[in-house]
Amino acid sequence: MTTLSRLAIALTLLLAPASALAAEPAKAKPAPTTAVDPAKVTLDQAIDGVHAFYSGVTDFKARFRQTMTRKHLPRPLKKSGMVYFKKPGMMRWDYTQPDKVYYVSDGEILWSYEPAEKVVYKLDVRESELYSALKFLVGQGDLRAEFDVALLPPRDGMVVLALTPKRDQSNYKQLRLMVSPDRFEIRGTELVDPLDNVSHIVFEDASYDALKPEGFKFQPPKGVRVEDLEGRGAGRAGDAQ
């Protein structure tokens, strides 16, 4: 997989849960839930519920667990860390296990930093077709307009929405949302790539306290290699521009 493809897939994973930004007003606690049979939720109810749930604006922080299943590997890859979102479009993923990797975006530039490799990748997300296709997840666009949406069988008490892009995408073929049947809150995401590899993410211990925008700024550490994936060359942080 090329670095650009890896960053594009990372962008999908970054954007997918960004809709959780609008879950509650800042510092609010989740409302009490009532038992709802996910099998009785219709497709229109689920789509409209997701749109309604994420019509507000707030910040979001959670622990995450990621399980990646690839056909050429004998066992799944498991990763974990913390994720942060702030409207509009700011996001940060701090992977802590098994290796430290950081994805940081201020809504314009996506940075990927791998300390062990001493390399930083830079990608302008504003011009990305992937960002455009998934803009409904950061409070813009229309889910029905961008995707063919279908209901899959409920899983672990969750409504499962399968989102297939109406325009072919080179980096993924389907995005699945695990949605609570009572509040239509996204509790997890599942990304299927063109080779049918699957990346599943679950969110835990969510918090809606306000986050500082400074946490979504990134400055490459001095001396690391910086690669611009828009084709503008590479250099080292701290070099004269």
- Grouping H, G, I as helix, E, B as strand and the rest as coil, residue 224 is coil
Q: Each residue of 7-48: pLDDT tens digit?
A: 555 555 555 544 444 333 334 444 445 589 999 999 999 999
How would residue 232 be classed by pLDDT, with cut points 50, 70 and 90? Answer: low
Q: How many CB atoms lie within 10 A of CB 204?
A: 11
- Grouping H, G, I as helix, E, B as strand and the rest as coil, residue 5 is helix
From residue 185, alpha-carbon distances to 17, 102, 128, 137, 163 in Å are: 10, 25, 26, 12, 16
3-62+75-144+205-236 to CATH, choices 3.10.450, 3.40.30, 2.60.40, 2.50.20: 2.50.20
Q: Each residue of 111-166: pLDDT tens digit?
A: 999 999 999 999 887 766 555 555 555 555 577 888 899 999 999 999 999 999 88
Alpha helices for 16-93 (secondary structure H): 43-53
As a whole number of angstroms, the distance between CA 80 and CA 99 comes to: 9
Model confidence at 65: pLDDT above 60: yes
From residue 56, alpha-carbon distances to 31, 53, 73 in Å are: 15, 7, 41
